[in-house]
Amino acid sequence: MQRVDTPEQPVETEAPSPDTDRDSRPARDGSAGTQAVAELRAVQKTYYKPDGSIMVEALKGLDLRIDAGEYVAIMGASGSGKSTLMNILGCLDRPTAGQYLLDGVPAESLGDEELSKFRGRKIGFVFQAFNLIPQLTVAQNVEVPLFYQGVDAEERHARALQKLELVELGDRTDHRPRELSGGQQQRVAIARSLVTEPVVLMADEPTGNLDSTTGNAILELFESLHAKGMTIMMVTHDDSVAERCERIVRLKDGELESDRVLRRRNV
């Protein structure tokens, strides 16, 4: 794909209508701004062999724009580049070529340490395997990102409790993760991802380890966060999960295969 400087994406809408015009949407702060939360411009990611020869072109010049308040599923066959894309979107890795802007800031303008701090402020991560620390209580797990931000103990605890209430686990704060069900553990992980007040939630197969009823409760939680304005990007293999998002971005061999807007949240 050759487009570099146009903000519009190729969007196939099932039923084209004026209110699917991306640039007409207000920003999350209520202003009329059109700044993307995440924007990739001709992003390439190449993995090299130790001898310097090309091993894999995992992303081949990707243009993608995700605006405040969107709820996007990222799909594609195994090996199509989803994890590579999520790593770049999540500032865990940098493009080989092209530009990535997170909340308007080019990742390339930040050094590694600055980028990692920036990521901590802007992004909440939710993983398939929950990644809770078994020795810590539920509340302490949720406090961890604030610990790294140097927030004092009292404020950390108060903010953790507030997010645990939000995910309806206010009565489990002193439990250890192993005392909770898988769905409850994922809700702890979601509380942890939200405790820093990020601008975007990035989830990699968040329902992949859960049965369908429990997974459904997690998706309902995402939908309620989205209804309050949270921007969410989620990798999933599951069509029924993706269909609950508002937009489906599909990768194939490191390129954008399709970008489909299903619906828009009423704003």
Give me the residues that bind ligand ADP (CB under 6 A), please.
Answer: 47, 55-56, 58, 76, 78-84
User: How many other C-beta atoms lie within 10 A of the C-beta of residue 106?
Assistant: 12
Q: Which does 101 bind (CB under 5 to 8 A by kind): ligand ADP, Mg ion, none?
A: none
Closest of 229, 218, 236 to residue 265, by C-alpha: 229
| 58: partner contacted, choices Mg ion, ligand ADP, none (Cβ within 5-8 A by kind) | ligand ADP
Strand extents, DSSP E, the chain = 12-13, 36-48, 54-67, 71-76, 97-102, 105-106, 123-127, 200-204, 231-235, 247-252, 255-261
Q: Choose among ligand ADP, Mg ion, none what residue 105 binds, the Cβ cut-off being 5 to 8 Å by kind.
A: none
**Nearer of residues 55 and 129 to ligand ADP, judged by Cβ:** 55
Minimum CB separation of residue 30 from ligand ADP in Å reads: 36
- Give the nearest residue (CB) to Mg ion: 83
Asked if residues 17 and 263 have their Cβ atoms less than 8 Å apart, the reply is no
Bridge-partner residues for 40, per DSSP? 64, 100
CB of 212 to ligand ADP, least distance (A): 23
Could you give the CA distance from residue 143 to residue 158 in angstroms, rounded to a whole number? 9
* Nearest to ligand ADP of 82, 122 (CB atom): 82
User: Least distance (Å) from Mg ion to the CB of residue 222?
Assistant: 20
Residue 75 DSSP SS3: strand
User: Which residues are bridge partners to 252 per DSSP?
Assistant: 255
Output the six-digit token pair for 89. 């979107």
CB of 73 to ligand ADP, least distance (A): 13
Of the pair 22, 82, the CB lying nearest Mg ion is at: 82
Q: How many CB atoms lie within 10 A of CB 224?
A: 12
Choose from ligand ADP, Mg ion, none: what does 217 bind? Cβ within 5-8 Å by kind.
none
| Residue 128 engages Mg ion in binding (rule: CB under 5 A) | no
Q: Which residue is it, tokens 């553990």?
A: 185
Measured from the CB atom, is 89 or 230 closer to ligand ADP? 89
Contacts to Mg ion from residues 225-264, by CB under 5 A? none
Which residues between 77 and 116 bind Mg ion (CB under 5 A)? 82-83
Helices 182-194/212-227 angle, 10° precision: 20
- Give the residues lining the site for Mg ion (CB under 5 A): 82-83
